[in-house]
Amino acid sequence: MRITQNGSYLSYLHITHADGKRVAKAIGKDPGLIYALARKEYNLRLLQTLDHNIETLLRAKTQWIPIDEGQLLRTLPKHYDTLEKDKILDRVLISAMDWPCPKPNGVAAREPALRLEGLTPEEWAARPYRENTKNPEHKIHPNRKGLLCRSKSEVLVTNNYEDLNIFYHYDEVIFINGYYLSPDVIGLAHSLNFKYHEHYGLNSEEYQDHNRFKESLYRDAGIVPGKNLIITYDSPQGRLNARLLHEILLDAYYD
């Protein structure tokens, strides 16, 4: 296309070539021609943008850092070395893309079941499962059976499961909607229905936000309070009411 000006009058000409000669034709009000020329201009500008984007991506490729938490931490300035790495990497919920280690004992995380099928309660209790291996140094509190727990409250919780002869898995990793979770306890009721037990110790706003999201994932899997999700809390003084816990478990598992 060519634009000519005669005084204040502009002429828009469509330039073509025929028999070796250049032919100029007024565009006029031909909508098909106008659209084709506009499309050509758009495509030319699009190609320029794409060329720019390709060049940017090629430059970025030379500076790409793998999505690996440990490697990213090593690229931080030296003064970050004094920080506790566990605090930086800590997540209550971990997405499938970010799970930091492969199957530690050869067992993959399972999707949560609502009812026991195909196994006896004893077989389910003895079945290997994927235990949460995050921060193993925190598991220093043995319960009555010798199971190492992350807190004294969890010792009290698991001891109650032992006292009530409830089959359970402690800190088992499960998989819901692309996220890994590890309920404190997954227990098996006498009705052969599973119960998922979360004990909340901290009371910070950030911790509560994580818990709300976690509970939304449970709901998506059919796990809801009052039915098969048990939630217990520490007191403001950081203690768990043993008598209340016992009553809650009796009510949940002997329905």
Own/partner pairs, 69-75, CB within 8 angstroms, 24+ separation: 69/98, 69/100
User: Domains in the chain: how many in total?
Assistant: 2
249 shares a domain with 133: yes
In a domain, 85, yes or no: no
**pLDDT tens-place string over residues 39-48:** 888 888 899 9
248 shares a domain with 129: yes
Q: Which residues lie closer than 8 Å to 247 by C-beta, 6 or more apart? A: none
163 shares a domain with 239: yes
101 shares a domain with 19: no
37 shares a domain with 116: no
Cβ-count burial 165-181 (b if 16+ within 10 Å, e if not): ebbbbbbbbbbbeebbb
What is the spatial distance between Cα 189 and Cα 167, in angstroms, rounded to a whole number? Answer: 8
Last residue of a domain, one of 62, 82, 100: 62
**pLDDT tens-place string over residues 6-18:** 777 777 777 888 8
**pLDDT tens-place string over residues 86-144:** 444 444 455 444 444 445 556 888 999 999 999 999 999 999 999 888 778 889 999 99
In a domain, 163, yes or no: yes
Go through the chain and tell me how many residues it has.
255
The average pLDDT across 136-159 equals: 93
In a domain, 67, yes or no: no
In a domain, 82, yes or no: no
Instruction: Identify the domain containing residue 43 by its residue range.
Output: 2-62
146 shares a domain with 51: no
In a domain, 77, yes or no: no
